[in-house]
Structure 1
Amino acid sequence: MKIPKGQKLWETVCDEKGRVKWAITSDPARTVYYLYSVNGDGLIMWTKKTGSPAGFEKYTGVRI
């Protein structure tokens, strides 16, 4: 999984088989958080941006 330059990986959410399905990153100052969906090959696709990672719960189905 390759994270965009200038962002820090904070959290990954896995499915029941242990495969990463979601990745949460932020800018270095932690003012903006990004949610990426992760496919089976480890490629990421930007999904959502917010000021707090708690805003991603409805997308991931997991309490963050």
Structure 2
Amino acid sequence: MAGGGNTVKEMTKSFGKLDKFQGQDFRRWQKKMHFMLTTLKVVHVLSTPIPEIGEDDTVENLRR
């Protein structure tokens, strides 16, 4: 990343300190996780459906 921003490696170090969900205050934990995934630019994995894989699908066809 250009311009003095944190690198992904540096960001993940601080995210490693986040507490695991222990059954209390789910909304707060959920917001923290959403923020972390947004910061890492992978939040789309929460809403992107898993593609259906057929018998004759190849990796090349799936990527199209």
TM interval, short-chain normalised: under 0.3
**TM-score normalised according to structure 2 size:** 0.25
More helix by share: 2
More strand by share: 1
- Higher RCO, Cα 8 Å, sep 6+: 1
